[in-house]
Amino acid sequence: MTDRVATTLGLYPLPDWAKDELSSLKGHQKADLVDGSEGPEVRAAYERVREELIDDQREAGLDRIVEGQGRWDDWLAHPLAVHDGVETGGIVRYYDNNNFYRDPRVVDDLAADGGDVAAELDAATALLEDEESLQAVLPGPYTLADLATDEYYGDDAEFLAAIAEFLAGEVEALPEHETLFLLDPSLVTDSPEGEANERVSDAVDTVAAATDADVVLQSYWGAHEEKTYAHLMDADVDAFGFDFVAGDRDAHLYNVTEYGTKDAISVGLVDGQNTAVESPETVAERIDWVTEQIPSQTFDTVYATPNTELAYLPVSTYREKLSVLGEAVELAPETEVSA
């Protein structure tokens, strides 16, 4: 039996009231963004945001609940943007989007600080009901290193290893969680070259080893280079996540056919960057289609997700997309599909 799990990659849009309230409380400039030292009013606003984002998922019937990351002003660079050993520099473009984050300039030892994400998930845990499962979301080590500027380690390999150790520390501090999603778009948008591929696989291992939960390494906005994928297969994760909306489907299927994949798979099937809302039936068909294309394998779990974070969307559309995912996994037959 294949378990079909409806979940998301986190990083949700702030509710519209919170957009207004937090911009009044915090301001609009670089220096006003979250740095880990928010005052009580800002903290209280984010607590209400967290409650609402968890309610949204509960109403949509998702199988995993994320914290929603309303505080992540700097997108996936957030864990560094709040780090004591990091100075945030100018505003830089976030991938090929009309979105920006503050350049995190690593100027000191990353091992010396941490725990920001754990505090968010502790708060989220307190809001969950007994039968609900928490999902943690963090950037993958390669992506976090790619988004940052190293002004301390001075060596790519050493920097990546330090980022991986830092993330492992964050993971160790987390409360109990069922699943950990590591979001790693840079693996496909700016692929590692040569020997770096092996180091990336090791870095993912370092982070994944810090938890007993199922670990999903999800990339988006493209497909893995063959060499990168081959090395990633050595990493001890439970599933890879593929972008079937903006990525090249044939390239995904080629990699999976040539090199195999893990016992679980995560498929980005709902467009996280378009307000056109898919029907649950369409998403259910897409889940079937992907699994049918991989006849050699029976998955124990298929995670059905949006292809990207959801903060690109207006609130009304984001909520509709959550519901679509929740309904789609109910429609899909929980049986093995054989070709």
Residues in contact with another protein by CB under 8 A are 13-14, 16, 19, 22-23, 26-30, 32-33, 73, 91, 93-94, 96-101, 273-276, 311-317
CB of 81 to another protein, least distance (A): 11
DSSP track, 283-336: HHHHHHHHHHH-TT---SEEEEEESS-STTS-HHHHHHHHHHHHHHHHHS--S-
Q: Which residue number, 14 or 265, has a Cβ lying nearer to another protein?
A: 14
- Cα(43)–Cα(49) distance, rounded to whole angstroms? 10
For the chain, the distance separating the N- and C-terminal CA atoms, rounded to the nearest angstrom, is 16
CB of 274 to another protein, least distance (A): 5
Q: Which residue number, 20 or 336, has a Cβ lying nearer to another protein?
A: 20
Q: Are strands 86-93 and 100-106 parallel, antiparallel or unpaired?
A: antiparallel
Q: Which residue number, 141 or 306, has a Cβ lying nearer to another protein?
A: 306
Q: Which residue number, 166 or 312, has a Cβ lying nearer to another protein?
A: 312
Assigned token pair, 303? 């995670």
Q: Do 139 and 124 touch, CB atoms closer than 8 A?
A: no
DSSP-derived 3-state class of residue 66: coil
- Cα(77)–Cα(199) distance, rounded to whole angstroms? 20
CA–chain centroid gap for 52, Å, is 19
CB of 97 to another protein, least distance (A): 7
CB of 277 to another protein, least distance (A): 9
Q: Which residue number, 23 or 298, has a Cβ lying nearer to another protein?
A: 23
DSSP-derived 3-state class of residue 166: helix
Q: Which residue number, 16 or 236, has a Cβ lying nearer to another protein?
A: 16
CB of 273 to another protein, least distance (A): 8
CB of 203 to another protein, least distance (A): 28
DSSP-derived 3-state class of residue 200: helix
Torsion of CA 148, 236, 255, 338, to 10 degrees: -140
Q: Which residue number, 315 or 328, has a Cβ lying nearer to another protein?
A: 315
With b for 16 or more beta-carbon neighbours within 10 A and e for fewer, the 47-66 pattern comes to eebbebbbebbbebebbbbb
**Number of neighbours of residue 178 by Cβ within 10 angstroms:** 16
CB of 313 to another protein, least distance (A): 7
CB of 75 to another protein, least distance (A): 9
Q: Which residue number, 103 or 165, has a Cβ lying nearer to another protein?
A: 103
